Structure 1
């Protein structure tokens, strides 16, 4: 699915699938024409799954939930998640004791620290090989937390689509890939909408007409920053 039929402004989705396809559905519902051309792909890793002593789980994205749920049928741990979309993914995967921090990695660290101690047991954090935030570092000395890399984010060979109006960037990794694909001339007159300041950092001098940042690092806020297409009077 490179794009969907529609007459609204064309929005380039750079994130990896399957998230890119969910974003496309949300954009189409808002009246945009989504153009799915991911700059990032998720590649599974065969990391050994050592669950000995694990007392809880922490997830920073729905991708981490999906990757972990595919590796084990166990669903008996309490779960901490970075935000509501990740919490929904955890519940949909069968976990029934789920608490959402409703924000970013700092909020997740605060939620865990308020409810967990070094004596409470090990928290396993399944996720990417290169996490966007250092959850373990934020909890060092207070909580025993072990990252579990289950997938790697790698660049695709996708090029910029023709005739897009705006581009969505969901991660610093995608932003760095975009910076190598798009010249200032190609970015001129177009809008960049990023999920966070960190995700926009690699593109501040890329030549975009406008750069908009989501109020909080989640999909709903990203789409709110994009706004709605102009409606005919």
Structure 2
């Protein structure tokens, strides 16, 4: 499981609760960026990540400002921080832009809180009546490949890998190509963009979540487990007592 800290611990708990043996190997590092104090209260706040909510200092003056969050987890976290009017887009950046247009009349000044290098351009998806000002509160760095030597030694035990972002997908695909290009497990990706880098590794199976959120991503694991169990059942059904050939399959795997 390659999600960045500290939220990777929440994912690990969910995996353990579902009966998976999870190895945590965050491939990206979140680096906080000191943000200047706000000079004016915007008409709306936009959060495109959990880390944006976590690293933006909450101010009581913003409690009543409408907040638009890209996903349900970010929305719940924003409510927990003290924002009272939070709307979740329950999806990706395109869903977020539609949610803003439907829920906020223009003209409006929007403060977009997030990464120094965002995954997409929200402003380009909105009409000029929405004036978007970006406030970077964190940067993202790739970890050094040497930090994954322990994981490399255990790749033979790993059957499935969770990918939470396109950048994580690019890192993991490069790393696998370098350390074990013959690895033939399954990568579970949160979006088509996160799955795209693995197209150069033909032995890998790719599964993409139906929606770009962790609930949908973890649901792909449940489906894979059901498929494995079904395959084991079918294989065992062909085994006859006394037959010298024995089919063996493992129902356990790592995520």
Q: Same fold, TM exceeding 0.5?
A: yes
SS in 1 for 2:210: coil
Aligned mates of 2:37, 2:110 — CA distance in 1:
14
2:38 maps to what in 1?
A: 50
Pairwise CA distance, 1:182: 1.0
How many corresponding residue pairs? 219
SS in 1 for 2:78: helix
Aligned mates of 1:226, 1:208 — CA distance in 2:
19
Q: TM-score, normalised by structure 1?
A: 0.86
1:105 equivalent in alignment to 2:93:
yes
1:165-196 deviation line (CA, Å, top 9, x unaligned): 11111111111211221127445221001000
1:215 maps to what in 2?
A: 210
Aligned mates of 2:132, 2:197 — CA distance in 1:
30
Instruction: Identify the structure with the greater strand proportion.
Output: 1
Aligned mates of 1:159, 1:138 — CA distance in 2:
38
1:114 to 91, 102, 105: 102
Aligned mates of 1:40, 1:220 — CA distance in 2:
21
Q: How does 1:134-153 map to 2 (within 5 A)?
A: 134-153=121-140
Larger RCO, structure (CA 8 Å, separation 6 or more) = 1
1:165 to 159, 168, 185: 159
Aligned mates of 2:11, 2:120 — CA distance in 1:
22
Q: How does 1:12-161 map to 2 (within 5 A)?
A: 13-68=1-56, 70=57, 72-74=59-61, 75-119=63-107, 121-157=108-144, 158-159=147-148, 161=151
Q: TM-score, normalised by structure 2?
A: 0.79
Pairwise CA distance, 1:49: 3.3
Instruction: Identify the structure with the greater helix proportion.
Output: 2
Structure 2 unaligned segments of length 5 or more: list them: 234-255
Aligned mates of 1:147, 1:42 — CA distance in 2:
18
Aligned mates of 1:128, 1:175 — CA distance in 2:
18
1:52-97 deviation line (CA, Å, top 9, x unaligned): 14121011121111111x3645423111111211110111111111
SS in 1 for 2:43: strand
SS in 1 for 2:101: helix
Aligned mates of 2:39, 2:170 — CA distance in 1:
34
Aligned mates of 1:117, 1:208 — CA distance in 2:
50
Aligned mates of 2:122, 2:79 — CA distance in 1:
22
Pairwise CA distance, 1:51: 4.1
Aligned mates of 1:51, 1:187 — CA distance in 2:
54
SS in 2 for 1:89: helix
Return the index of the structure with the highest Cα Rg. Answer: 2
The two structures, once aligned, show a CA RMSD in angstroms of 2.0
Aligned mates of 1:93, 1:187 — CA distance in 2:
45
